[in-house]
Amino acid sequence: MDPNRAYLRNPPPAELEDYVSDQRKGIVPPPLEKPIEPGARQISLTPPDRLTLGQMPLRDAIGKRESRRTFSDEPLSFDELSFLLWATQGIRKVHPQRVWAMRTVPSGGCRHPMETYLWARNVDRVPPGLYRYAPLEHALVAARVPGGAALPSLAGICSEQSFVDRAAVTFIWTAIPYRTEWRYGPDSLKDILLSCGHICQNLYLACESIGAGTCAIVAYDQDALDAYVGADGKDEISLYVAPVGKIPG
């Protein structure tokens, strides 16, 4: 069998039966989100219960959903960004000991291995720069100091797809594999990739509901994208890019 196709298959039952996960060993689970460095600048987002966006009927959002590569120069509002982040990785309920957190998207075993980074270019009340979304706090955390050293062109990293650099904000998702491996070990890979797909589909539908659009991208330079967000490419790996902008009137 083609080795690439083998990744689509579940491991043999015997392999899973013999595997003892870190969870079964009693090892403490990994954190639900990356820790926030002391002194890091944070921007609190609009709480979900105060958001009134996204009232489009689900049937209409699904029917209108398409990949969009043309964006207007209109900025994304602060509430719109808050809504998109809640729709893709928002917290619904947290275990008292923070063993798991239920979110707005599914993930096997409620492990949620993804981290969300944002290149904010044209968002009201958000200085241009690279941020990480902290879902437990529902806040942006500055990953690069706004106004600091210039980052390379994301379009250049993404196979010269010029529309990327015209987006109001670009979502970049990374995976921290151990969050899923802690429970599922050798059966983790497919679940991690499926979790990323769940998130991006929510982004597509949420964008349509606010008059915005996105186009998911997997054509990128892996090492360059990892370096862009500060991932080491081993314990944290870039997986998906989704530029977002308002649909031209």
pLDDT digits (tens, 9 = 90+) for 43-55: 999 999 999 999 9
Total residues belonging to the chain: 249
pLDDT at 149: 59
**Is the pLDDT assigned to residue 237 strictly greater than 90?**
yes
Instruction: Please tell me the class of the 45-246 domain.
Output: alpha beta
Question: What's the rounded Cα separation, in Å, for the pair 200 and 212?
Answer: 14
Q: Work out the average pLDDT over 89-111.
A: 95
pLDDT at 168: 98
pLDDT at 10: 87
| Residue 148 main-chain phi, psi, to 5 deg | -80, -150
pLDDT at 119: 96
3-class SS of residue 126: strand
Structure tokens at 105: 């998207």
Task: List the beta strands (DSSP E) in 59-145.
Answer: 91-94, 101-103, 114-120, 129-134, 139-142
Q: How confident is the model at residue 200 (pLDDT cuts 50, 70, 90)?
A: very high
Structure tokens at 121: 């270019």
**Is the pLDDT assigned to residue 145 strictly greater than 60?**
no
**Is the pLDDT assigned to residue 181 strictly greater than 70?**
yes
Which range has the worst mean pLDDT, 11-25, 37-51, 146-160?
146-160
Residue type, 8: L
Structure tokens at 190: 């497919």
Q: How confident is the model at residue 16 (pLDDT cuts 50, 70, 90)?
A: confident
Residue type, 220: Y
Q: Do 103 and 92 contact (CB within 8 A), yes or no?
A: yes
Q: Work out the average pLDDT over 194-215.
A: 98
pLDDT at 24: 94
pLDDT at 174: 98
Question: What's the rounded Cα separation, in Å, for the pair 42 and 132?
Answer: 10
**Is the pLDDT assigned to residue 18 strictly greater than 90?**
no
Task: List the beta strands (DSSP E) in the chain.
Answer: 42-44, 91-94, 101-103, 114-120, 129-134, 139-142, 169-175, 212-214, 237-246
Q: How confident is the model at residue 65 (pLDDT cuts 50, 70, 90)?
A: very high
Picking from 200, 238, 230, 194, the residue whose alpha carbon sits closest to that of residue 216 is 200
**Is the pLDDT assigned to residue 147 strictly greater than 60?**
no
How many helices (H) and strands (E) would you count in the chain? Answer: 8, 9
pLDDT at 22: 96
Burial of 237 (0-12, 13-18, 19+ CB in 10 A): middle
pLDDT at 2: 86
Mean pLDDT of the chain: 94
